[in-house]
């Protein structure tokens, strides 16, 4: 059975740069599907093509049976989009913003009024609906940004990194808000480079890197890709030498090791067993160790296993 | 179509909450009208400065034979007196014409600030001591310049009146007494004295306003029109800001992911600019005509049509500026520059008749020039809707060109 979203051979070139390279996936009705990948992996470009904002260089997307190439307006009627940036009008109030976006989705009269009320309740900002958006905190703006994308009850909701740059409290509120959409039967395509969010929300995940889907499946299926391997996460100086990294990779049991900022992540068959060897190797190389932990297999370890680099890169 | 309207109303609401936009669109023109209207009292519409106030003389007079003075050709003498006077030639650009009808038409069109018509039989009447009139035509849109010309002609008339009285007195006394020529000098002296004391004027000046009655137009009338024509164009700057901000803050991208067509988005933005300008036009029109007693002319439909056409050009210019500038900062530099140049070329700051003839057509490369020319035609020359169709068509042409280039440049914008 075909999904409500069918992405077939989707490709986008910007000059010589291949931003999205023959991406294929299918999303079932009511599913929360994650696109996980580092910045610049092609997630936003993929969403832009699905939403009709960018014309694909190759391939096509079907949303509820309508082609984005030949029936873009029919596709747009099925979609709600929550962009990465807060795309609202700062001098309008929250209610005025939602009314405007509702009208752009074709809502009118009482239907619009009740949809706006409902969206404000969902965002937890009904009591501040008359305030201008410019007076809101970053997290509150994000919540209205999401509310503007869902108030017309779209069949498919595209969310492009909706939690970037906000405080933990607002982030939790948003994640709960998105999880709650599952009950309404809405299908969600959620992009993020935060592994924890995707693990918390998504039924299935596609991992993307350099414009390509490098792995796809349920969380369980993806974890199996790295077997029983663990991630050993070590706090180090950002000036960690390349020779020290080579020394860590040479520790018995270590499959891969990469540093991103002040965190060294090593994929090891037995994390607990490799931990002592890794710390010894770093000490021998004259590096300082600020913290150490062993993490159970997760999407981070899958990404590290598949690409040899961290999601934070 | 409804989406287009909602986009326009959203923009209008945003601007009405922006004190800076309101200040520029409404506050500044009101202040400038007051300042320029007072400070530039030396200038009025349809007038000239450096190149000379444009006036004409039509001499219809015929010389008469006079035994004492051989030939009396006062029309020719007046012309020579005015044309050869160094002080006057620095102030006036005097055209000598034989076609009184054409000169009347030129004054009515505002091409000439004023004219003098010396009527047929003028010399004969003066010589016979009969009352006679010099005709001065005035462009009501060039109040000050025409007033200066009228003053000059009046002083000429005073001199001629004296000459007339002297000639009559001297001739009469000499004829009656049969005195020798040397005695005539004494008689003339007496006659001059009498003429100087005389309250009566043998030569009178009749002044006619071209195609209009009532109060003459002053600088306040001119600057009310010119500042309105200029500040309507400022809507383009705020329109460009709005378009650029929608792109930068990605509300434009978001809009384009809704079922709203790109054409509705651009159309809505243009309609917003148009509505803002219409509101501004209404306020300025009401303020200048109600509070300042400025007469916009007798055909409000023609005035309104010119305003609408200029607003269409303004909306087109907004799209063009947004397509070139790309950033708010860029639009903030480019917009006022384009508007000020157009205002300067269009005569918003001073009447273009002060420029040499060859330079005056520069107004036709300016939106402000076409709009102001149309407003003035209605105000000072009694023009109606049909008369200003060329202005409306030119402004619509600007709108199409600006919009076409702008949309072409923005076709891939998101």
Asked if residue B199 is part of any domain, the answer here is yes
A27 to A7, A75, A144, A211, B51: CA distances (angstroms): 9, 15, 26, 18, 78
Shortest CA gap A264–chain B (Å): 36
Asked if residue B275 is part of any domain, the answer here is yes
Are the Cβ atoms of B257 and A105 closer than 8 angstroms? Answer: no
Are residues B108 and B33 located together in one domain of the fold? Answer: no
Are residues B267 and B228 located together in one domain of the fold? Answer: yes
Given this model, what pLDDT does residue B332 score? Answer: 85
Given this model, what pLDDT does residue B50 score? Answer: 43
Given this model, what pLDDT does residue A39 score? Answer: 82
Shortest CA gap B325–chain A (Å): 21
* CATH class of domain segment(s) A5-223: alpha beta
Are residues B137 and B165 located together in one domain of the fold? Answer: yes
Spell out which chain A residues touch chain B, with contact meaning CB-CB distance below 8 angstroms: 48, 51-54, 73, 76-77, 79, 81, 83, 85-89, 91-92, 96, 100-101, 103-106, 108, 148
Is B16 an interface residue toward A (CB < 8 Å)?
no
**CATH number, position B66:** 3.40.1710
Question: Which residues contact residue B364 at a Cβ distance below 8 angstroms, ignoring those fewer than 6 apart?
Answer: B370, B394
DSSP output for B255-274: HHHTT--HHHHHHHHHHHHH
Are residues B341 and B192 located together in one domain of the fold? Answer: no
Burial class (CB in 10 A: 0-12, 13-18, 19+), A300: buried
**Count: domains in chain B:** 2
Share of chain B above pLDDT 70, in %: 80
Are residues B85 and B225 located together in one domain of the fold? Answer: no
Query: Three-state DSSP class for B122?
Result: helix
Given this model, what pLDDT does residue A267 score? Answer: 85
B interface test, pick of A72, A87, A147 with most B CB neighbours within 10 Å: A87
Domain definitions of chain A by residue range: 5-223, 228-296
Identify the top-confidence range among B113-127, B148-162, B181-195: B113-127
The pLDDT-based confidence of B80 (bands split at 50, 70, 90) is confident
Are the Cβ atoms of B259 and A92 closer than 8 angstroms? Answer: no
Phi-psi category of residue B76: left, alpha or beta, with phi > 0 → left and psi -120 to 50 → alpha:
alpha
Given this model, what pLDDT does residue B391 score? Answer: 94
Q: In B, which residues are within 8 Å of A48 by CB distance?
A: 253
Given this model, what pLDDT does residue B94 score? Answer: 85
Given this model, what pLDDT does residue B213 score? Answer: 47
Identify the top-confidence range among B61-65, B102-106, B206-210: B102-106
The pLDDT-based confidence of B185 (bands split at 50, 70, 90) is low
Mean pLDDT along residues B300-327: 91
Range of the domain at B193: 53-209
Instruction: With residue B208 as reference, give the H or E element that holds it.
Output: strand B203-209
User: How remote is the C-alpha of A80 from its chain's centroid?
Assistant: 16
3-state secondary structure A47-103: HHHHCCCCCCCEEEEEECCEECCCCHHHHHHHEEEECCCCCCCCCCEHHHHHHHHHH
Are the Cβ atoms of B253 and A53 closer than 8 angstroms? Answer: yes
Interface confidence, given as ipTM, is 0.81
Which CATH superfamily includes the segment(s) A228-296?
A: YebC, transcriptional regulation domain (3.30.70.980)
Given this model, what pLDDT does residue B49 score? Answer: 40
How many Cβ contacts (< 8 angstroms) between chains A and B?
60
Is B153 an interface residue toward A (CB < 8 Å)?
no
The pLDDT-based confidence of B45 (bands split at 50, 70, 90) is very low
A interface test, pick of B18, B245, B254, B412 with most A CB neighbours within 10 Å: B254
The pLDDT-based confidence of B184 (bands split at 50, 70, 90) is low
Asked if residue B414 is part of any domain, the answer here is no
Q: What is the pLDDT along chain A (313 residues), one digit of tens a residue?
A: 578 999 999 999 998 899 999 999 999 999 999 998 888 889 999 999 999 999 999 999 999 999 999 999 999 999 999 998 899 999 999 999 999 999 999 999 999 999 999 999 988 889 999 999 999 988 889 899 999 999 999 999 999 988 887 788 888 888 888 888 887 889 999 998 888 888 899 999 999 989 999 889 998 888 877 777 788 889 999 888 889 989 998 998 888 888 888 888 888 888 888 888 999 999 998 998 999 888 877 787 788 777 777 665 5
Q: In A, which residues are within 8 Å of B8 by CB distance?
A: none
Are residues B364 and B242 located together in one domain of the fold? Answer: yes
User: Which DSSP letter does residue B411 get?
Assistant: T
Mean pLDDT along residues B211-231: 75
Contact (CB, 8 A) for B58 and B78: no
B interface test, pick of A72, A77, A83, A103 with most B CB neighbours within 10 Å: A103
Which residue from B minimizes the CA distance to A74? B259
Which residue from A minimizes the CA distance to B412? A54
Are the Cβ atoms of B3 and A76 closer than 8 angstroms? Answer: no
Given this model, what pLDDT does residue A152 score? Answer: 92
Given this model, what pLDDT does residue B48 score? Answer: 40
What tokens appear for A149 in the block?
Answer: 């994308």
């Amino acid at each position: 059975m075909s999904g409500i979203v069918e992405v077939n051979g989707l490709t986008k070139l910007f000059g010589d740069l291949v931003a999205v390279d023959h991406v294929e996936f299918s999303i079932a009705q009511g599913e929360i599907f994650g696109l996980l990948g580092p910045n610049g992996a092609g997630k936003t470009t993929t969403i832009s093509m699905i939403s009709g904002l960018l014309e694909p260089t190759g391939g096509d997307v079907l949303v509820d049976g309508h082609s984005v190439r030949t029936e873009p307006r029919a596709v747009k009627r099925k979609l709600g989009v929550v962009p990465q940036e807060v795309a609202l009008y700062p001098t309008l109030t929250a209610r005025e913003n939602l009314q405007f976006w509702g009208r752009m989705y074709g809502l009118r009269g009482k239907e619009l009024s009740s949809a706006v009320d409902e969206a404000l309740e969902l965002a937890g900002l009904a009591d501040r609906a008359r305030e201008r958006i410019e007076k809101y905190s970053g997290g509150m703006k994000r919540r209205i940004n999401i509310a503007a994308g869902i108030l017309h009850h779209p069949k498919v909701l595209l969310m492009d990194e909706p939690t970037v740059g906000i405080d933990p409290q607002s982030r939790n509120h948003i994640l709960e808000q998105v999880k709650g959409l599952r009950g309404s039967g809405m299908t969600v395509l959620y992009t993020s480079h935060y592994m924890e969010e995707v693990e918390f929300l998504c039924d299935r995940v596609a991992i993307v890197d350099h414009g390509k889907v490098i792995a796809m499946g349920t969380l369980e299926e993806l974890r199996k890709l790295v077997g029983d391997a663990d991630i050993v996460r070590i706090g180090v100086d950002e000036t960690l030498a390349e020779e020290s990294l080579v020394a860590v990779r040479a520790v018995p049991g270590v499959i891969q090791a990469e540093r991103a900022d002040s965190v060294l992540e090593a994929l090891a068959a037995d994390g607990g067993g490799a931990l002592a060897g890794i710390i010894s190797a770093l000490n021998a190389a004259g590096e300082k160790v600020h913290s150490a932990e062993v993490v159970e297999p997760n999407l981070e370890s899958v990404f590290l296993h598949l690409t040899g680099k961290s999601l934070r890169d | 179509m409804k989406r287009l309207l909602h986009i326009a109303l959203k923009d209008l609401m945003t601007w009405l909450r922006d004190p800076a936009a309101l200040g520029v669109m409404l506050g500044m023109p009101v202040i400038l009208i007051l300042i320029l209207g007072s400070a530039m009292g030396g200038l009025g519409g349809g007038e000239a400065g450096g190149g000379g106030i444009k006036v004409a003389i039509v001499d219809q007079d015929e010389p008469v034979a006079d035994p004492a003075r051989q030939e009396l050709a006062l029309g020719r003498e007046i012309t020579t007196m005015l044309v050869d006077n160094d002080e006057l030639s620095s102030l006036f650009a005097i055209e000598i014409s034989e076609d009184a009808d054409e000169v009347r038409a030129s004054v009515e069109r505002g091409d000439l600030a004023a004219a003098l018509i010396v009527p047929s039989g003028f010399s004969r009447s003066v010589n016979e001591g009969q009352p006679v009139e010099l005709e001065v035509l005035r462009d009501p849109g060039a109040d000050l310049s025409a007033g200066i010309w009228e003053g000059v002609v009046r002083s000429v008339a005073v001199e001629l009146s004296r000459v007339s009285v002297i000639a009559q007195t001297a001739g009469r006394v000499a004829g009656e007494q049969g005195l020798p020529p040397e005695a005539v000098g004494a008689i003339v002296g007496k006659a001059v004295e009498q003429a100087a004391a005389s309250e009566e004027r043998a030569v009178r000046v009749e002044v006619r306003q071209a195609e209009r009655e009532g109060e003459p137009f002053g600088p306040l009338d001119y600057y009310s029109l010119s500042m309105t024509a200029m500040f309507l164009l400022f809507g383009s700057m705020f329109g460009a800001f709005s378009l650029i901000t929608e792109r930068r803050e990605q509300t434009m991208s978001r809009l384009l992911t809704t079922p709203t067509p790109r054409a509705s988005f651009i159309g809505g933005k243009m309609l917003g600019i148009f509505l803002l300008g219409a509101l501004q036009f209404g306020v300025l029109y009401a303020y200048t005509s109600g509070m300042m007693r400025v007469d916009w002319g007798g055909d409000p439909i023609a005035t309104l049509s010119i305003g609408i056409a200029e607003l269409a050009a303004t909306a087109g210019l907004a799209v063009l500026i947004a397509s070139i500038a790309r950033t708010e900062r860029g639009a903030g530099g480019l917009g006022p520059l384009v508007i000020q140049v157009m205002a300067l070329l269009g005569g918003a700051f001073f009447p273009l008749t002060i420029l040499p003839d060859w330079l005056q057509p520069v107004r036709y490369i300016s939106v402000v020039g076409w709009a102001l020319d149309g407003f003035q035609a209605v105000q000072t020359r009694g023009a109606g809707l049909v008369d200003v169709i060329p202005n409306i068509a030119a402004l619509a042409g600007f709108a199409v060109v600006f919009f076409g280039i702008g949309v072409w440049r923005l076709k891939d914008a998101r």
